[in-house]
A and B are shown apart, each in its own frame.
Chain A
Amino acid sequence: MTANTEIFQLLPHLVIGVGIVLSVVIEISTKKSESILPWFTILIFVFAGAHSIINVYDYQILFGGMYAIGGVTAIFNFIFTIGAAIMVLNAVDYIKKSKMNFGEFYILVQSSVLGMMLMAGARDLFMIFIGLELMSICFYVLAGINRSRMGNTEAALKYFLLGAFATGFIVFGIALIYGTAKSTSIDQIVFAYEYFITDVLFLTGLALFVIGFLFKIAAFPFHMWVPDVYQGAATPVTGLMSTTGKAAAFSVLIIILSAVFTQNITNNFEILFAVIATLSMLYGSIVAIAQDNLKRMLAYSSIAHAGYMTIGLAAGNIESVSGIIFYLTAYAFMNLGAFGVIALIEGSNEENLDINSYSGLNSKSPILAGFMALFMFALAGIPPMAGFFGKYYVFVASIKADLTWLAIVGVFSSAISVYFYLRVVVYMYFKDSTSSIIIKNSFTGLLAVIISGLLVLVFGILPDTLFSIITSVLSY
């Protein structure tokens, strides 16, 4: 393989990397950066996303086994970049509205996406760690980007403290894995997985490593930061953290456990994941009922969704992986859309987040109400929205893995969750408006919502377009 082809295949990463540097230059050199940077950011994201999805069948290992390109990585890159592009589109007017016009915002978003892409492509524990840190540090700062708000600062500090705590376990896990496997290459670890797994140190190391990422996906006992951070951070940032961040963490979990998924090895973590999935689903769904703040409600719903996806990890077969990836894609767009609507309705100083603000929304803005209803239905998993098929594929995989009880718990939890999702719809359509909120027109924000809505519908009506790609690339 020549250097040129390597560069071509790494083009998405290079474009974003160069884009970060250029963004810094733009931010320094011109006062008009506010109006240039968002579009520049979207441009490079869309390019990177398109490049990834076009080259999805071009699977290669680069840099002496350190890094992979194409295949599942490309699908993840697509989720990261397109999700981030939608979020930036949505954030343009939000940033102006809440007067936090920092050029850093866009630079940090780009850096975090680069970090996610490194995580998804990494085939070495150190690469994973570098990507994770790049993503996490950007997220810590993004969570507190609006320094003048107390909530933002609190969210950033809590996220940082607990995130660093979790990172510590990841590093400890890496150390133990290296100590027993004598290698940080994932290919080697996966290759000899069956041999290592009997070693208690390796198992502990792997468990700690996995726990660190369970923190990032907000699964049950490690979810504590989620409500506070999701509520405190700026709404578009929350959208990004809850969707692409989760997808990045799952990409690592899928890679590190790929031996289980592909080689038919007994899943040592089956019970662990099953218990965590059950607790996450039930805890998220039940506590979300008592929430009146929409962002906080979606934070708990995010915990529940992490639980549904963890069912796939427990099932541990190839169908479950494709189910998880489909679920992540669907979840990314429906959640981004929901947060997009919230960002549009939110006032300039974090007002109008209460569910009462949504009463009678249909009469004020039928478009927003319609899309919000669409996203709520999708999150609740009602066909023909994308969310339904995400759950469907994961549940089918779990039934195949003889975990029917887990699927039943999942369905039960979905039934509970319908309550709080539909509560929003009920407020929007069947209650008279009690608050006098003014919704500022935002073309870009609306466009972002419409794009996510269309994607949710497309993946819901034509799930096989995406699903067939996922299943075919998984055969590598």
Chain B
Amino acid sequence: MIELIYLTILLPLLGFVINGFFGKKIGNEKVIGLIGSSTVGISFVISLLALIETINLPVEQRTNVVELFTWMSVGSLNISFSYLVDQLSLVMALIVTGVGFLIHVYSIGYMHGDKGFYRFFAYMNLFIFAMMNLVLGDNFVVLFLGWEGVGLCSYLLIGYYYDQKFEKGTVAQAAKKAFIVNRIGDFGFLLGMFLIFETFNSLNFLEVFSQAKHLTGAESTFGFIALFLFIGATGKSAQIPLFVWLPDAMAGPTPVSALIHAATMVTAGVYMVARASIIFASAPVILAVVAVIGLLTAVFAATIGLVQTDIKKVLAYSTVSQLGYMFLAAGVGAFSAAIFHVMTHAFFKALLFLGAGSVIHSMHHQQDIMHYGGLKKYMPVTFLTFIIAAFAISGFPGLSGFFSKDEILWFSYANGNFVYWLLGALTAVLTAFYMFRLVSLTFFGEERFSHDKYHPHESPKVMTIPLIILAVLSVIGGWIGIPEVFSGEHGNVFHNWLAPIFLDAELKLAYYGAHSHTEELILMAISVSAALFSMYGAFKIYTQRREIAEKFALKFKKAYMVLLNKYYVDEFYEATVIQPIQKSSEKFLWKIADNKLIDGIVNGTAVVITSFSSVIKKMQTGVAQVYALIMMTGIAAILFWIILSL
């Protein structure tokens, strides 16, 4: 099945072509939904079979390249559409297709009756196509193609309800914001790619990384490459300073938020850093930057999440915060922990978003949690699965989030320092708090909505079944990565699986700090108990004593307002970047540089060329003798030149 891996990419493309070009003619939602989800489902099955085949191979043969075709090869630049099937890409492919398939199925119910039903599925399939290129490509060009492709799909899907209002502006503006912020990151990524080609004379992963392994003494080059690549990652994965687009991306339909802005696309940055681990490992300074940025983003976004009232906004900041975690892990050299968290996060965050979607669906697109309350009796399945996900993300022992988060915290201490751990644990506490604030306000307490307007009800089976599956995965998904301290001699299965990929990077980083299991257990106990306490506190406050929260907010009004307004980052960017650019572009670039200078040059050239053209056009008299004369002149000139040049 490994050699058939390209089918996992082509099938979603096929789905896109069918739904995109003929969807309007098909019209039938069932057929469109079936095409859309079955293509992704089959891709998942193929990826799974490829995984099984890879598992059965000996370790040193687990890296396979499937070449589809050579796109172009000029000189040393050889770009081919070939796919790298190894431990890392298979994990990512399974997450993308697996979670993607469930979300596609869910969307059949969620998008029911929407006039752009076929358009939605076409975009979703296109997204899977691009994302699979991103995770499976065996060179930076294919990765970049997927990278841009997912950006495009993200733009299209955020702007799906393009004619509607969103917050202060319109949905279309939110989509544009996402696209433009991403472009800033992409620019960095592109620079990184150029630098890689300049340095290694190749863009192929295996060639670049094997060269990078042996190359020494080029630390500044590595530093720049890693920095540029990381700038790309901050754009795509919503890290400081380019995280501002992700909360606005919630303007898209909820399944989109679940698939693209929680489970898959935003993790592309983490994947890319993990894929290029050897380059980052060769630039320890940048790696530290990655860790610090990740940590800051994690804390920063978690604090904003504490006070948001829009259910999707809370989840969006939670996503930013969790992505920060992943970068923290990558930054301390625990790449497999980062990927592990990518996987578990995909399960529970997709579940949270889909659950939120289910709530929004039944509450007629009301998204303010202050207008929910006591929903658990109306929608038991959604409630049950949602609370499982909340437990998982808060790191409740035994659930998937516990293992991945704990691993990250442990490595941030073992490979990093105590401050990393402390801030990481603080984020975990904050996460537990805002998640249970959300759960309490939504499902518990008194009903804060009018029954005349809203009739909450459980969602149809097509939506709840994916929820149940994801809930199961959120529970057991972490069991493949049980840390050594619990599993004993087997060690961490997931870690061992990915170990060959990150071997070179880890050798280069050489963290051999001796830390005992006791230390690990103590730190774990502290962070878990703090998180549990925070969960309990949030539950108590927001179900029984909401006045405490209100008093608290009044007492620290300033801090509360800062958080509510997201630290005024948007306003800050507006004042420092957007306004000056807009002003200068309007006053100078548009009116003077563009209108006068460039238009003048362009129009002037056009006028000159056009008039020139009309003049020499007259050379074409239509008289054959004249033509012959001109030819003869040409021949005479050439022969004259030949004789002269001898």
Q: A: which residues have CB within 8 A of B?
A: 157-158, 161-162, 165-166, 169, 200, 203-204, 207-208, 211, 215, 220-222, 224-225, 227-228, 268, 271-272, 283, 286-291, 389, 392-393, 396, 416, 419, 461-465, 467-468
- The answer on a CB contact under 8 Å between A221 and B630 is yes
CA distance A393 to B73 in the complex (A): 10
Of B617, B635, B637, which is within 8 A of A290 by CB? B617
B518 CB-CB contact with A under 8 Å = no
- The answer on a CB contact under 8 Å between A222 and B624 is no
CA distance A273 to B630 in the complex (A): 18
- The answer on a CB contact under 8 Å between A203 and B642 is yes
Can you give 14 contacting A-B residue pairs, CB < 8 Å? Answer: A162-B624, A200-B642, A200-B646, A204-B642, A220-B634, A221-B631, A221-B637, A227-B620, A271-B645, A272-B638, A286-B609, A287-B620, A393-B74, A419-B606
Of B622, B635, B645, which is within 8 A of A228 by CB? B622
Q: Which of B75, B613, B622, B628 has the most CB of A within 10 A?
A: B613
CA distance A462 to B634 in the complex (A): 40
Chain A residues with CB under 8 Å of B74's CB are 392-393, 396
Q: B: which residues have CB within 8 A of A?
A: 69-75, 80, 606, 609-610, 612-614, 616-617, 620, 622, 624, 626-628, 630-631, 633-635, 637-639, 641-643, 645-646
How many A-B pairs with Cβ below 8 Å? 93
- The answer on a CB contact under 8 Å between B620 and A224 is yes
Q: Which of A224, A463, A464, A468 has the most CB of B within 10 A?
A: A224
- The answer on a CB contact under 8 Å between A287 and B617 is yes
Assess A161 versus B628: contact at CB under 8 Å? Given A283-B616, A286-B609: yes
- The answer on a CB contact under 8 Å between B71 and A287 is no
CA distance A221 to B627 in the complex (A): 9
Of A224, A272, A289, which is within 8 A of B641 by CB? A272
CA distance A416 to B602 in the complex (A): 11
- The answer on a CB contact under 8 Å between B633 and A290 is no
- The answer on a CB contact under 8 Å between A161 and B71 is no
Q: Whole-angstrom distance from the CB of A108 to the nearest CB of chain B? A: 23
CA distance A286 to B613 in the complex (A): 5
B79 (CB) vs chain A CBs: closest residue: A464
- The answer on a CB contact under 8 Å between A463 and B72 is yes
Q: Whole-angstrom distance from the CB of A403 to the nearest CB of chain B? A: 16
Chain B residues with CB under 8 Å of A165's CB are 628, 631
CA distance A166 to B634 in the complex (A): 12
**What 4 A-B pairs come out closest when comparing CB atoms?**
A221-B634, A224-B627, A290-B613, A464-B70
CA distance A157 to B624 in the complex (A): 9
Chain A residues with CB under 8 Å of B635's CB are 169, 208, 211, 221
Q: Whole-angstrom distance from the CB of B586 to the nearest CB of chain A? A: 26
A415 (CB) vs chain B CBs: closest residue: B605
- The answer on a CB contact under 8 Å between B69 and A462 is yes
- The answer on a CB contact under 8 Å between B72 and A389 is yes
- The answer on a CB contact under 8 Å between B627 and A158 is yes
CA distance A204 to B646 in the complex (A): 11
Not counting A207-B642, A227-B620, A463-B71, a sample of 14 additional A-B residue pairs whose C-beta atoms are within 8 angstroms of each other reads A157-B624, A161-B628, A166-B631, A203-B646, A204-B643, A215-B631, A224-B630, A272-B638, A283-B616, A287-B620, A396-B74, A416-B609, A462-B69, A464-B73
- The answer on a CB contact under 8 Å between B69 and A465 is yes
- The answer on a CB contact under 8 Å between A286 and B69 is no
Chain B residues with CB under 8 Å of A291's CB are 617
CA distance A220 to B630 in the complex (A): 10
Chain B residues with CB under 8 Å of A221's CB are 630-631, 633-635, 637
Chain B residues with CB under 8 Å of A467's CB are 72-73
A160 (CB) vs chain B CBs: closest residue: B624
- The answer on a CB contact under 8 Å between B613 and A211 is no
B615 (CB) vs chain A CBs: closest residue: A290
Chain A residues with CB under 8 Å of B642's CB are 200, 203-204, 207
B68 (CB) vs chain A CBs: closest residue: A462
Chain A residues with CB under 8 Å of B614's CB are 290
Chain A residues with CB under 8 Å of B628's CB are 161-162, 165
CA distance A289 to B641 in the complex (A): 31
Chain A residues with CB under 8 Å of B609's CB are 286, 289, 416
CA distance A389 to B77 in the complex (A): 14
CA distance A342 to B74 in the complex (A): 35
- The answer on a CB contact under 8 Å between B639 and A287 is no
B613 (CB) vs chain A CBs: closest residue: A290
CA distance A204 to B636 in the complex (A): 11
Q: Whole-angstrom distance from the CB of B285 to the nearest CB of chain A? A: 37
CA distance A283 to B639 in the complex (A): 22
A224 (CB) vs chain B CBs: closest residue: B627
B625 (CB) vs chain A CBs: closest residue: A161
Chain A residues with CB under 8 Å of B643's CB are 200, 204
Q: Which of A166, A272, A283, A286 has the most CB of B within 10 A?
A: A286
CA distance A465 to B612 in the complex (A): 41
Q: Whole-angstrom distance from the CB of B130 to the nearest CB of chain A? A: 16
B606 (CB) vs chain A CBs: closest residue: A419
CA distance A166 to B622 in the complex (A): 18
Chain A residues with CB under 8 Å of B622's CB are 228
Chain B residues with CB under 8 Å of A158's CB are 624, 627
Q: Which of A157, A166, A393, A462 has the most CB of B within 10 A?
A: A462
Q: Which of B70, B74, B616 has the most CB of A within 10 A?
A: B74
- The answer on a CB contact under 8 Å between B630 and A289 is no
CA distance A109 to B138 in the complex (A): 48
Assess A464 versus B613: contact at CB under 8 Å? Given A162-B631, A211-B638: no
A461 (CB) vs chain B CBs: closest residue: B71
Chain A residues with CB under 8 Å of B69's CB are 462, 464-465
Chain B residues with CB under 8 Å of A465's CB are 69
Chain A residues with CB under 8 Å of B606's CB are 419
Q: Whole-angstrom distance from the CB of A404 to the nearest CB of chain B? A: 15
- The answer on a CB contact under 8 Å between A462 and B639 is no
Assess A468 versus B70: contact at CB under 8 Å? Given A290-B613, A290-B614: yes
